[in-house]
Amino acid sequence: RLSTERYYTHEEILNYIDDLAVRYPSRVFVKTVGWSYERRALKTITITNGDQRKGKKLIFVDGGFHAREWISPAAVLYIIDQLVEQFEQNADLLKDYDWIILPVVNPDGYEHTQTGTLARMWRKTRQPYGACYGADPNRNFDFHWNEEGASSSACADTYAGPTAFSEPETIVVRDLMHSLSDRGVMYLTLHSYGNYLLYPWGWTSDLPDTWEDLDEVARTGAEAIENATGTVYTYGSSTNVLYIAAGASDDYGFYAGFNVSITMELSGAGSIGFNPPVTRIDEFVTETWIGIRAMAEKIIEKY
Ligand code: 0X9
Ligand code: ZN
């Protein structure tokens, strides 16, 4: 059973999903979809209700874009636990939808923050660029790439990369998005911290034509969390409620055809922002799930 009492290593995360695929062979499928720069496996877990229907609608979730945001993979694992181990309580979320989940987009960075010297606050990938390392995977997507809120300097934390899709990890996410977008309804990417539910656009302050639909989904998540826990999530377009930053995965997923695309910035503030003590993992991931569950229900009702 999943532990929310500690942070998992990337290898433990892969072992956890591999084990679920063995234990639930009719409902759970794990696939290696690519490799990080340092050749760690990028694996997706597809969760179904076992009815074998092809072409069901789909929710795509990922985490671990930014290495130091440890609560993100932890929350992704909790989503997986709920949909697989607590299937009976969540069967409504899998009746007409499959979920495909990539728990750690940037495993090289994640591993670096767990094992490297003075590396806890690392954000980027680990491909070398001259004397520095890594691009910001959330500035590396080819949609208004490097226009705003990104850096062209290889040593910067928001380095967009030498070109769009310079990182093998973002190519994997891009290719997944394109392969799924004909049935993909919601793309959800988990980051930390600050308690936000963000929707496109992040490259401009203009809103997409369907912004009221996006706003309704985000508001549903925020209200569910506040009603259950009192935690206040701010929702709105990325540019308007947080800051402008182009080349991120949320904008790309929306442009690639997902009806709804949401970046969730989980709980955490101040000195525990990127570093929630292990005693608070459970609280943060269960709170996150309340919001995600409510958004998924709204998605299933609307699309
Ligand atoms: O800056 C980011 O990549 C995200 N915040 S974080 O603190 N986790 O780094 C926010 C991304 C929001 N989306 C867009 N700007 N498109
Ligand atoms: Zn982030």
Pocket of ligand 1, beta carbon within 6 A = 66, 69, 138, 191, 198, 202, 238, 242, 245, 248, 250-251, 263, 265
Q: What is the pLDDT of residue 226?
A: 98
Of 226, 265, 283, 287, which one is the catalytic site residue?
265
Protein residue with least CA distance to atom 12, ligand 1: 238
Q: What average pLDDT does range 173-182 have in this prediction?
A: 96
- Domain 10-302 is of which CATH architecture? 3-Layer(aba) Sandwich (3.40)
Summary mean pLDDT of the chain:
98
The whole-angstrom separation of Cα 134 and Cα 72 is: 20
Q: Is the ipTM of this complex over 0.85?
A: yes
Q: Is 265 designated active site?
A: yes
Q: What is the pLDDT of residue 270?
A: 86
Q: What average pLDDT does range 194-223 have in this prediction?
A: 98
pTM over 0.95: yes
Estimate to the nearest angstrom the gap between the alpha carbon of 184 and the chain centroid. 15
DSSP state of 38: T
Q: What is the pLDDT of residue 271?
A: 84
Burial 212-229 (b: 16+ CB within 10 A, else e): ebbbebbbbbbebbeeee
Q: Where are the domains of the chain?
A: 10-302
DSSP state of 40: -
- 264-281 pLDDT, tens digit per residue, is 999 988 888 999 999 999
